[in-house]
A and B are shown apart, each in its own frame.
Chain A
Amino acid sequence: MSTNRSRSGKKFWTDWKTISVIAVLIWSVVNLFEIKPNAEYKEMLRMADLSGTALHAEVIEKVKKLPGWEKYNEYQKEDAIKREYDDAARGNNVQPIATIRGYKLFTNLKLGLDLRGGSQLLLQALPAPPVVPEITPQVMEGVQNIINNRINSLGVSETIIQRAGRDRLIVEMPGIKDPQQAKDRIGTTALLEFKELGFSSEGIPLWKDTGLTGKDFKRAAATRIGGSNSWQVEFEFKPEGAKKFGDLTKRLTGQYIGIFLDGQPTDRGADGKPVPIEHYPGVRVNEPITGGRGQITGSFTQDQALDLMQKLNAGSLPVPVRILEERSVGATLGQDSIEKSVIAGGVGIAAVMIFMVLVYGLPGLIADLALILYTLATLAIFKAIPVTLTLAGIAGFILSIGMAVDANILIFERTKEELDQGRNIWQAVENGFGRAMSSIFDSNVNSLIACAVLMMFGTSVVKGFAVTLAIGVAVSMFTAVTATRTLLHLIPASWGLFGHKPAGTQKKKVMTKEAV
C-alpha cells in the first residue's frame, strides 16, 4: 500500500483507476445498447419471424445484392450466406427499451429456451448389433451429422447440437413452433430397405433383405403424380446401387419387391399410417430397371412425400436413437418468465439500493452508482461473450448483485472503524480498502471455486447459473473496489464520511499503514 497520496484534483483525473472506471462505463453502454431507425428494427423482427423456405429465399435474395457477389468463390459465398442467416436470427433476441423520435433503443441479449420458448431434446444412440455393436466416437459423428441435416431441413434457425458423454446428443431448438414435427423427424432411423419375398424355415412367407438400402441413393425428390392429389418420391441410385438395383429387378421380373422404411411398409392406408405388414403386397416388377431411377408410390399426401424425401436426402442414422429427455417451453410461459424476472430483478436492485442509502447515507449512494456500473458492465459482458440467459442464469446474476454489495459493505465497515480510531478521511478510506481487500479476495475466490465445479459437472441449466454468477463475481471485484474508491474520493473532505466530520484542519499528519 502506498502511503502518501495527494488528493489534488489533477492527480485524480490522471489516476489509472479513474480512467479505467470511465473506460468500462463507456464500453458497457456502447456495447449493451443499440439504436436503429424504426423501419430497420421492424425489418429485423420480420426476418426473425421467417423460417424454412421463406427464410432461405430472403437470405439468397439479400446476398445476391452484395457488391461483387458474382466474383465470390464457393467458400466466400457460403460464408456470406451463413452471416446473413446469423443476421436474420438476431431479431429473435431483441429487448426493446424505448422509442425516441422514430428510433428504437434496444438491447440484444441472447435468451435461453426457457425464456423465449423452444425445445431441448436429449438423445441417446443405441447400439445395433451385429453391424454396430458399440457406440464409438465415429458412430456418434455420423449420428450428429445426420441429425444436423434433418433439423436444418426443417428450417429451424440457431439450432445447437452438442455431444454429451459417450452416446448422447443435446439438441436445442429455440423458438421452434412445432416440436412434434422435429421429434418425428429426429427420432426415426429413416432406413429405406428393398426386400424380396421368401420363406422362413417353417415355410411361412416373409420379406427378406436384399442388401439394397436408401444408403445407395444419390438423391430423392417428391413429385405430384399427374394432376392428382397423390404424391410420390422419385429416387436416383449411385452407380453401384444402380447396378445392384438392375440385377435385382432383372432377377425378380414379374415378382414383387417390398419397400420398407424403418421396418414398416412405405404404403399408406386410408388412415395415413403405414399398412400392416401382413397386408402389404409389395410392388410388382414389370421389367428390369437398369437406369438406376425409380419411384416410391405409396399414396402419400404432399407432407408425407416431402417428409420422406427430406429424410432420405439427410441420410439414415447408422443406429437407432431414443429421446431420453424432452423439455419444451411455449412462448407464453417464456414471456411470462421474462416479465417476472425483470420485475423481480428491478425490485431486488432497487431495494438493495435503498437499503444501502439508509444504512450508509452518501457513501451508500456511491455504492449504488457502483452497482449501476456493475449491472451495465455485467450485462454488456453477457452480450459480448455471448452468454445465453436462462431463468437460472438470471437467478445467478441477481445473487451476484448481493455479493457485489458485500464488497462495499466490507469496505465501508472497515473505513468506519478506521475513522473511529481517529484517522483522517482520506487515510481511513485508503486503509479501509486495503484491509478489506484480503477478505474480499479470499471470499470471492471461494465463490469462483464453487462456480468452476458447477461448470464442470453441472447440467446445462446449472452451467447457465454458474457462468453468470462467476462473471458477476469477477466484475464486482472491479466495480465494487475500484469504482467505489474512485467515487468516494470525489466527496469533499469537509462533508465528512459516515457522520465523522473532519476535526479542525484537514492537513493533519498522514498515517502510514505501519503506524496503525
Chain B
Amino acid sequence: MSAHKNIVDIVKYRSIWLGISLLLTLPGLVFIGLCYQKYGAPLKPGIDFTGGSILQYQFERPVELEQVHKVLEDAGFAGSQVQQASISGKPAVVMRTKSIDSETEKRALDQKLETELGPYKQISVDKVTATIGPELLSNGLLALFVTFGGMVAYITYRFKFDYAICAIAALVHDVLVLIGVFAALGYLFQTEVDSLFISAVLTVIGFSVHDTIVVFDRVRENSKSVGTKIIDPVTNEERKKTFGEVANDSVNQTLARSLYTSLTVVITLLALFLLGGVTTRDFVLAMLIGIISGTYSSIFNASCLLVWLREKRQGAMQKKSLKTA
C-alpha cells in the first residue's frame, strides 16, 4: 500500500522519542517542586486565586516607580509590586497590592496617590477578594476531569479503549510540559497564572487530542493490513506485517498534515502573541507551548505507546498459547 518513504521511525527509535519527552517534562517537575517551596503551590498563583488587586493608572505627570512604591507603602500596602507598562503608546503604572477589601480603603489610596503624584486616569482596576480562589481551582480541576472522561468515552466509542489510554497519556504529557514551563516562568520571572490559564490548559487538551485522533484515524484505517504478507526489506523474506509497521506508516502518512496544521495554528498564535493585547499575552503563550508540545506528542508519543501496549498484549497472548500448547 505505501510507496511512501518513511521519514521518522517511531518504533525503532522509540527510546529516543520518549527520552526527549522525559527531558522536557523532568525539569518542569523540578520547577513545580521549587514553586511549592516558594509559593506553596505548583505555579505562582495570580490574584484570581489568592485575592489581591491590580491597579493600572496613567498619571498625567511622569512618575518614578520608586515614588509610587513609597506612596503605596505609606498607605499601608507594604510589599506591593510596581511595574511600568505602556497603553496606547503612553506610559502607565501597574500596581499589584494585597487585597483591598473595602471601598473606603480604595478611596483613601486613590486620594493619597492624587495628592502625592498628581491627577491620573484609571486604565483598569481588578480587585479580587480571597474567597473565590479555592472555588475557581476546584471548578477548574472538575472541568479537567470531566473533559478527560468525555474524551475517553468518545475515543473508546469511536476507536478502542487502548487508543483512548494512549491519547490521554499524550495529553497528560502536554499538560505537564505546559505547567512545567509556567512553573519555571513563575519561579524565575514571577509570571502568575490566572483563571485564563485554566482555559488555556483545557484548549491545549482539546488540540492535543484533536491532533492525536488524526494519527489514530490513520492507524485504525491501516490496521486492516496487519497480518498481510509482505517482503521484509532487510532479509527479503516473506513475513506478516506487524502492528508496529502499520503504526509507523500511519504516522509518516500524516506527518505532513500534522506539521502543516500546527504551523498554521502557531502562525495565528504568534500573531496574537506579538501584536495582540497585553491582557491575553500569557494566555496565548500557554497555548503556543501546549500546541507545539501537542504536535510532538501526537507524532512521537501516542502511537509509540499504542504499539508498545499492543506488543505487550501480543507477547502475553503468545506466552499463554505456548503454555496451553
* A contacts, CB < 8 Å to B: 114, 122, 124, 179-180, 183-184, 187, 322-330, 332-333, 335-337, 340-341, 343-345, 347-349, 351-352, 355-356, 359, 391-392, 395, 398-399, 401-403, 405-406, 409-410, 413, 417, 420, 435, 438-439, 442-447, 449-454, 456-459, 461-462, 465-466, 469
Question: What 10 A-B pairs have minimum CB-CB distances, sorted nearest first?
Answer: A450-B206, A402-B265, A348-B271, A439-B217, A457-B143, A348-B268, A344-B275, A344-B276, A443-B210, A337-B277
Which single member of A114, A179, A335, A439 contacts B214 (CB below 8 Å)? A439
Inter-chain contact B158/A447, CB cutoff 8 Å: no
Residue B218 lies at the interface, judged by CB distance under 8 Å to chain A: yes
Residue B125 lies at the interface, judged by CB distance under 8 Å to chain A: yes
21 A-B residue pairings within 8 Å (CB atoms)? A179-B125, A325-B132, A329-B124, A330-B123, A330-B124, A332-B123, A336-B88, A341-B276, A345-B271, A345-B272, A347-B271, A348-B268, A392-B280, A405-B261, A409-B260, A409-B264, A410-B257, A450-B209, A452-B150, A458-B139, A459-B136
Inter-chain contact A344/B123, CB cutoff 8 Å: no
Chain B residues, CB < 8 A from A443: 209-211, 213-214, 217
Chain A residues, CB < 8 A from B203: 399, 450, 465, 469
Report the bound CA distance from A487 to B67 in whole Å.
63
Inter-chain contact B127/A340, CB cutoff 8 Å: no
Inter-chain contact B268/A323, CB cutoff 8 Å: no
Chain A residues, CB < 8 A from B195: 459, 461-462
Q: A333-B124, A457-B142, A462-B198 are in contact. List 20 more A-B contacts (CB 8 A).
A: A184-B103, A325-B132, A327-B125, A330-B124, A336-B87, A343-B275, A348-B270, A391-B277, A395-B287, A398-B271, A401-B264, A402-B261, A403-B210, A410-B214, A410-B257, A410-B261, A439-B217, A443-B211, A456-B146, A465-B196
Q: A392-B196, A449-B154, A462-B195 are in contact. Are A454 and B264 (CB under 8 A)?
A: no
Inter-chain contact A399/B287, CB cutoff 8 Å: yes
Inter-chain contact B103/A392, CB cutoff 8 Å: no
**Main SS class of interface, B:** helix
Report the bound CA distance from A407 to B141 in whole Å.
31
Residue B188 lies at the interface, judged by CB distance under 8 Å to chain A: no
Instruction: Give the most central of A340, A413, A453: most B CB within 10 Å.
Output: A453
Distance in Å: Cβ of B170 to nearest Cβ of chain A: 13
Chain A residues, CB < 8 A from B129: 322-325
- How many chain-B residues does the 8 Å CB contact rule pick out? 71
Chain A residues, CB < 8 A from B151: 446, 449-450
Question: 8 Å CB contacts to A: which residues of B136-181?
Answer: 136, 139-140, 142-143, 146-147, 150-151, 154-155, 158
Instruction: Give the most central of B209, B214, B256: most A CB within 10 Å.
Output: B214
Which single member of B136, B210, B271, B276 contacts A351 (CB below 8 Å)? B271
Residue B207 lies at the interface, judged by CB distance under 8 Å to chain A: yes
Residue B58 lies at the interface, judged by CB distance under 8 Å to chain A: yes
Chain A residues, CB < 8 A from B235: none
Report the bound CA distance from A403 to B270 in whole Å.
15
Chain B residues, CB < 8 A from A333: 56, 87, 123-124
Which single member of B206, B211, B257, B284 contacts A413 (CB below 8 Å)? B257
Residue B234 lies at the interface, judged by CB distance under 8 Å to chain A: no
Distance in Å: Cβ of B165 to nearest Cβ of chain A: 15
Q: A333-B87, A399-B268, A439-B217 are in contact. Are A340 and B275 (CB under 8 A)?
A: yes
Distance in Å: Cβ of B172 to nearest Cβ of chain A: 15
Inter-chain contact A446/B210, CB cutoff 8 Å: yes
Chain B residues, CB < 8 A from A356: 264
Distance in Å: Cβ of A174 to nearest Cβ of chain B: 14
| Closest chain B residue, CB of each to CB of A114 | B279
Chain B residues, CB < 8 A from A399: 203, 265, 268-269, 287
Q: A327-B126, A347-B271 are in contact. Are A417 and B253 (CB under 8 A)?
A: yes
- The contact string, 1 if C-beta is below 8 Å from chain A, for chain B 99-135, is 0000100010000000000000111111111011000
Residue B199 lies at the interface, judged by CB distance under 8 Å to chain A: yes
Chain B residues, CB < 8 A from A345: 271-272
Report the bound CA distance from A329 to B123 in whole Å.
6
Chain B residues, CB < 8 A from A336: 87-88, 277
Q: A326-B126, A335-B88 are in contact. Are A349 and B268 (CB under 8 A)?
A: yes
| Closest chain B residue, CB of each to CB of A352 | B264
Residue B65 lies at the interface, judged by CB distance under 8 Å to chain A: no
Distance in Å: Cβ of A123 to nearest Cβ of chain B: 11
Residue B283 lies at the interface, judged by CB distance under 8 Å to chain A: yes
Residue B43 lies at the interface, judged by CB distance under 8 Å to chain A: no
Chain A residues, CB < 8 A from B316: none
Which single member of B131, B217, B261 contacts A409 (CB below 8 Å)? B261
Residue B63 lies at the interface, judged by CB distance under 8 Å to chain A: no
Residue B78 lies at the interface, judged by CB distance under 8 Å to chain A: no
Residue B263 lies at the interface, judged by CB distance under 8 Å to chain A: yes
- The contact string, 1 if C-beta is below 8 Å from chain A, for chain B 58-81, is 100000000000000000000000
Report the bound CA distance from A356 to B154 in whole Å.
31
Report the bound CA distance from A391 to B262 in whole Å.
22
Which single member of A325, A337, A452, A458 contacts B279 (CB below 8 Å)? A337
Inter-chain contact B147/A453, CB cutoff 8 Å: yes
Chain A residues, CB < 8 A from B127: 323, 325-327
Distance in Å: Cβ of A455 to nearest Cβ of chain B: 10
Inter-chain contact A457/B139, CB cutoff 8 Å: yes
Report the bound CA distance from A176 to B88 in whole Å.
21
Q: A453-B147, A457-B143, A457-B146 are in contact. Are A395 and B87 (CB under 8 A)?
A: no
Report the bound CA distance from A28 to B93 in whole Å.
42
Inter-chain contact B131/A324, CB cutoff 8 Å: yes
Inter-chain contact B210/A355, CB cutoff 8 Å: no
